[in-house]
């Protein structure tokens, strides 16, 4: 079947070639010209470009993703939706959107950045307008800080020049050199234009674990007081978050003046995940793998993880990370 189709195709192509040869040079040029134009059109059609065909914010998609796929993060979910909706519906924002996502490991920070990317760019994280920088990967050696600085500035400038709707994700922000953070500050600020480039439609997302402990403490206080997790509000986390973030001498992020200059528009706290959320994560993973949903296996996988603090064992030490490999173990016999 397939072979015969191929033979047919080869036959058609060789006939076409013979035909082209049979024509005079003028016609040949025309045919080749039309072919080239067609080729360009097809290329443009499939190749990502900086226009509304490829960049088209879908608020409903972000809302459903946050509601259905993100577990146990009612505070983060609300802030992210509001922030991104507001920014994307503003025709002329005064500054780029800067979000700073904080929380314990495995609680969904990268996951949410991915959802944001997917709601804006057709190609999601694979879009050529989405740029991820990981401190330990892209800027590992403090000694080369000056090289990194000029590289990073050139990248940001180059990328925003070619598409003003660019998304930059800085992972492991707490491990980033303060000097490097300083050098991106101008791009986050209220400037009309910087060297002729406007950064006001860009989005910057910072991810870090700093403040994670204080968020855990607040969640634990609620739990110990027998209060429902859903009662936790931003204001319950805000003071302790900003204090712990400010006072963390270790972290480069906060020794810089990102905070005092109000360059970060929203601090987004991620709560530590409980047993029931881990179970939800396992069920979601089963569904993604087209396995039969099995509550017992999900419970078993969730029980295998480590929970803290030692006395109450409420929160998963690694959040929903590592359940992938655990699930393999239970579903393969």
Ligand X SMILES: Nc1ncnc2c1ncn2[C@@H]1O[C@H](COP(=O)(O)OP(=O)(O)OP(=O)(O)O)[C@@H](O)[C@H]1O
Binding site annotation covers 37?
A: no
Is 107 flagged in the annotation as binding? yes
CA atoms within 13 A on the CB side of 207: 20
The partner residues of 266 in beta bridges, in order of sequence, read 99
Rule CB under 6 A: is residue 108 a binding residue for ligand X?
yes
Contact pick of 144, 162, 239, 295 for ligand NAG (by CB under 6 A): 162
User: 73 touches which of ligand X, Mg ion, ligand NAG, none (CB within 5 to 8 A by kind)?
Assistant: ligand X
Interface with ligand NAG includes 150 (CB under 6 A)? no
Select from 28, 58, 85, 110 the one that contacts ligand X (CB under 6 A). Answer: 110
Nearest to 121 by CA among 83, 94, 88: 88
Q: Is residue 52 a contact point for ligand NAG (CB under 6 A)?
A: no
110 is in an annotated binding site: yes
Q: Is the dihedral of CA 88, 92, 93, 95 positive or negative?
A: positive
What's the full length of the chain, in residues? Answer: 333
Classify 258 as helix, strand or coil.
coil
**Listed ranges 58-66, 218-226, 246-254, 309-317: which one lies at the site for ligand NAG (CB under 6 A):** 58-66
105 makes contact with ligand X (CB under 6 A) = yes
Query: For residue 150, which of 199, 183, 178, 174 has the smallest C-alpha distance?
Result: 183
| CB-nearer residue toward ligand NAG: 60 or 92 | 60
Q: How far is the CB of 291 from ligand NAG (least distance, A)?
A: 23
Q: Is residue 72 at the binding interface for ligand X, with CB under 6 A as the rule? A: yes
* 210 binding partner (options ligand NAG, Mg ion, ligand X, none; Cβ < 5 to 8 Å by kind): none
Q: Which helix (H) or strand (E) holds 149?
A: helix 145-162
Site for ligand X in 222-281 (CB under 6 A): 273, 281
The verdict on 61 binding ligand NAG (CB under 6 A) reads: yes
What are the φ and ψ backbone dihedral angles of 210, each rounded to 5 degrees? -65, 140
Using CA atoms in the order 325, 326, 328, 333, what is the torsion angle rounded to 10 degrees? 140
Number of CB atoms found within 10 A of residue 201's CB: 18
| Angstrom distance (rounded) from CA 300 to CA 239 | 37
Q: Helix crossing, 74-88 with 59-69: angle to 10°?
A: 170
Dihedral sign for Cα 290, 294, 300, 302, please: positive
Residues in contact with ligand X, shown as a per-residue x/- string from 28 to 67 under the rule CB under 6 A? ----------------------------------------
Size of the site for ligand X (CB under 6 A): 17
**By the 8 A CB rule, do 113 and 207 touch?**
yes
Cα dihedral 50→262→248→111 (10° resolution): -30
One residue of 62, 79, 97, 106 binding ligand X per CB under 6 A: 106
104 is in an annotated binding site: yes
Pair 270, 215: CB distance under 8 Å: yes
Q: Return the residues of window 194-233 that contact ligand X according to CB under 6 A.
A: 209
| 95 lies in the site for ligand NAG, by CB under 6 A | no
Q: How far is the CB of 171 from Mg ion (least distance, A)?
A: 6
**One residue of 33, 35, 39, 158 binding ligand NAG per CB under 6 A:** 158
Instruction: Return the residue of 77, 107, 159, 248 that touches ligand X, per CB under 6 A.
Output: 107
Strand extents, DSSP E, 47-172? 97-103, 130-134, 167-171
Q: Cite the annotated binding site by residue number.
A: 103-110
Q: Cite the annotated binding site for ATP by residue number.
A: 103-110
For ligand X, the binding residues (CB under 6 A) are 70-73, 105-111, 209, 273, 281, 319-321
For ligand NAG, the binding residues (CB under 6 A) are 58, 60-61, 64, 131, 154-155, 158-159, 162
């Amino acid at each position: 079947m397939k072979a015969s189709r191929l033979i047919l195709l080869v036959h058609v192509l060789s006939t076409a070639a013979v035909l082209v040869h049979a024509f005079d040079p003028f016609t040949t040029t025309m045919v080749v010209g039309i072919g080239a134009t067609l080729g360009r059109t097809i290329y443009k059609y499939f190749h990502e470009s900086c226009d509304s065909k490829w960049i088209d914010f879908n608020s409903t998609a972000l809302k459903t993703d946050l509601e259905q796929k993100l577990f146990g993060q009612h505070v983060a979910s609300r802030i992210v939706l509001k922030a991104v909706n507001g920014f994307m519906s503003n025709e002329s924002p005064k500054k780029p959107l800067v979000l700073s996502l904080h929380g314990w490991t495995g609680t969904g920070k990268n996951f949410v950045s991915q959802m944001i990317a997917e709601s804006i760019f057709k190609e999601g994280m694979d879009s050529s307008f989405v740029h991820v920088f990981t401190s330990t990967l892209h800027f590992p050696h403090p000694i080369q800080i000056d090289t990194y600085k000029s590289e990073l500035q050139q990248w940001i400038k180059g990328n925003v020049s070619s598409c003003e709707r660019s998304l930059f994700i800085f992972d492991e922000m707490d491990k980033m050199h303060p000097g490097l953070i300083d050098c991106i500050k101008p791009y986050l600020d209220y400037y009309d234009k910087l060297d002729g480039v406007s950064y006001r439609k860009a989005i910057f997302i910072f991810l870090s674990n700093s403040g994670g402990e204080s968020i855990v403490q607040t969640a634990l206080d609620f739990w110990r007081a027998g209060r429902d997790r859903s009662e936790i509000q931003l204001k319950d986390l805000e003071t302790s978050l900003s204090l712990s973030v400010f006072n963390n001498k270790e972290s480069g992020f906060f020794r810089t003046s990102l905070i005092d200059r109000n360059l970060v528009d929203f601090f987004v706290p991620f709560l530590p995940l409980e047993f029931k959320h881990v179970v939800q994560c396992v069920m979601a993973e089963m569904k993604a793998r087209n396995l039969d949903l099995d509550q017992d296996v999900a419970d078993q996988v969730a029980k295998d993880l480590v929970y803290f603090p030692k006395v109450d064992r409420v929160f998963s030490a690694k959040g929903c990370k590592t359940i992938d490999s655990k699930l393999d173990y239970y579903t393969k016999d």
